[in-house]
Amino acid sequence: MDRYLVISGDGHAGLPPEGYRDYLEAKYHAEFDERLPKEIAFRAMMEEKLLVREFNENWRAACGNDIYGVWDSVIRDKVLDGDGVAAEVLFPDGITERNAPPFGADVGLRCLGADPELLWAGAHAHNRWMVDFVAMSPLRRIGLAVIPVVFDIDKAVAEIKWAHKSGLKGVMFPCMTDGFDPYNHPKYDPVWAVCEDLNMGIHFHSGAAPPMAPVPGAIGTFLMEYPFWMTRSMWQMIFGEVFERFPRLKVIYTEGSEFWFTWMIKMMDIRASVKHTSGKLGDFRAKLTMPPSGYFNRNMWVVASALADRDTTIACQELGLSRVIWGSDYPHPEGCWPKTQAKMLDSLGGLPEADLEQIFWKSAADVYDLDLPALNKIAAKIGPQKQWLATRQAAE
């Protein structure tokens, strides 16, 4: 085939806020109706205070109707065709497109201070809608279920089983467990077991960080800190021997900075060596049969969202392309769309065909259960042409 099969590991989808009412259980309608205008007003206020309102409004206007692909199935497939993307992983959304799921079950998924019952209700409403959205184009949509796992293990296991039976292919967990047991706690073993058995990859997506007042430096602080909170489960699960007990478990980190991972993997290996700097802490890695990097290279993947330049591409190469999945981050302004083709060429043009195949689809195929022959038929019509991506010479 003279075109690449491209599977995006990072896409966002969700209803306009009022649309989720139809997917909520009736007993939550009154609470939903009372909260909805307040939540919309709060998001507008935060846009204003964080000085992004004008940017977001200009962005939405420039995108036109194509931005409605976040909930419109026909537009979504049209956008994918234009981007050359055959299939994509679908996360919930947040403030940018004003289509976050109710009661905080959005891409940030903060549990501290939340009402567990309401957060579960909002998550299930989104999961129900995601099942319907995936069913409209099942070959091209890799839907994820939102799982507030920290509250109730039995409920989490039941929701994961339901999601798998309903056609979803993975789960999204809270990045932050503040106030609750961390992911190295043995109580999560039933969750790891069901995810391993059903091949439901566990996803952590950037967006969560400790709340900050909208003061100067808040956004810069967030940008420096969110990779830590997103990846904290990485060393919790590795040093907590989760992958010793569940060697086929898959964990995916999305939009978390490629530069961060290389540094942290090296740091984990240094700490696990129990040298002078950590020897007094005891042999805390005695039951690990591999260095931490070995578990990362077997059980974990990184979605590099919206590769925009050679620096990020080089970081992915240093990380190891077998651990990297390309992502467009549609429809966020920090993503590739609506200039996906140009950004592909700038960041990836001229790379060896084997490298591009690895991050465009092979890594994703190691994570998800996909119909590759059928996806290749789509890619043969809309995928980026191999000759076109070969025309740009690799940077010196």
Tokens 């190469």 — which residue?
317
Point out the least confidently predicted range of 2-11, 97-106, 277-286, 362-371. 277-286
> What topology is assigned to 7-390 in CATH?
TIM Barrel (3.20.20)
pLDDT bin (cut points 50, 70, 90) of residue 59 is confident
pLDDT bin (cut points 50, 70, 90) of residue 50 is low
- DSSP, collapsed to helix, strand or coil, labels residue 170 as strand
105-128 pLDDT, tens digit each = 999 899 999 999 999 999 999 999
- pLDDT for 172 beyond 80: yes
DSSP for 326-370, written as a single string: EE--BT-TTSSTTSHHHHHHHHHTTS-HHHHHIIIIIHHHHHS--
- pLDDT for 214 beyond 90: no
- pLDDT for 348 beyond 80: yes
Q: What is the pLDDT of residue 396?
A: 32
- pLDDT for 52 beyond 70: no
Closest CA to 272 of 316, 240, 320, 233: 240
286-323 pLDDT, tens digit each = 689 999 999 999 999 999 987 767 888 888 999 999 99
Q: Which two three-digit tokens encode residue 378?
A: 């789509």
Give the neighbor-by-neighbor strand order of the sheet with 201-205.
Answer: 7-12, 87-91, 141-146, 170-172, 201-205, 251-254, 300-305, 324-327
255: left (phi over 0), alpha (psi -120 to 50) or beta: left
Q: What is the pLDDT of residue 97?
A: 60
DSSP for 272-305, written as a single string: HTT-TTTGGG--TTTT-SS-HHHHHHHHEEEEEE
- In this prediction, residues 255-276 reach a mean pLDDT of 84
Angle between helices 258-272 and 218-239 (to 10 degrees): 40
Q: What is the CA radius of gyration of the chain?
A: 21
Q: pTM, whole model, 2 decimals? A: 0.94
Check residues 283 and 167 and name the one with the higher pLDDT.
Answer: 167
Rounded CA-CA distance 277/281 in Å is: 9
Rounded CA-CA distance 149/137 in Å is: 28
- In this prediction, residues 116-145 reach a mean pLDDT of 98
Whether residue 303 contacts residue 255, with contact meaning beta carbons closer than 8 Å, is answered with yes
Pairing mode, strands 300-305 and 170-172: unpaired
- pLDDT for 182 beyond 70: yes
Q: What is the pLDDT of residue 335?
A: 87
Rounded CA-CA distance 341/253 in Å is: 24
- E-strand ranges in the chain read 7-12, 87-91, 141-146, 170-172, 201-205, 251-254, 300-305, 324-327
Check residues 255 and 8 and name the one with the higher pLDDT.
Answer: 8
Segments making up each domain of the chain, as ranges: 7-390
Whether residue 273 contacts residue 283, with contact meaning beta carbons closer than 8 Å, is answered with no
- pLDDT for 254 beyond 90: yes
- pLDDT for 137 beyond 70: yes
pLDDT bin (cut points 50, 70, 90) of residue 96 is low
Pairing mode, strands 300-305 and 251-254: parallel
Q: What are phi and psi of 55, to 5 degrees?
A: -60, -50
Enumerate residues 6+ apart whose C-beta is below 8 A from 274: 281, 283, 284, 285
Tokens 């025309």 — which residue?
391
84: left (phi over 0), alpha (psi -120 to 50) or beta: left
Whether residue 307 contacts residue 326, with contact meaning beta carbons closer than 8 Å, is answered with yes
Q: What is the pLDDT of residue 394?
A: 39
Neighbours of 246 (CB within 10 A): 18
Bond preceding residue 331 cis, omega within 30 of 0: yes
pLDDT bin (cut points 50, 70, 90) of residue 65 is very high
**Mean pLDDT taken over the chain:** 90
Closest CA to 95 of 111, 79, 106, 110: 106
- pLDDT for 392 beyond 70: no
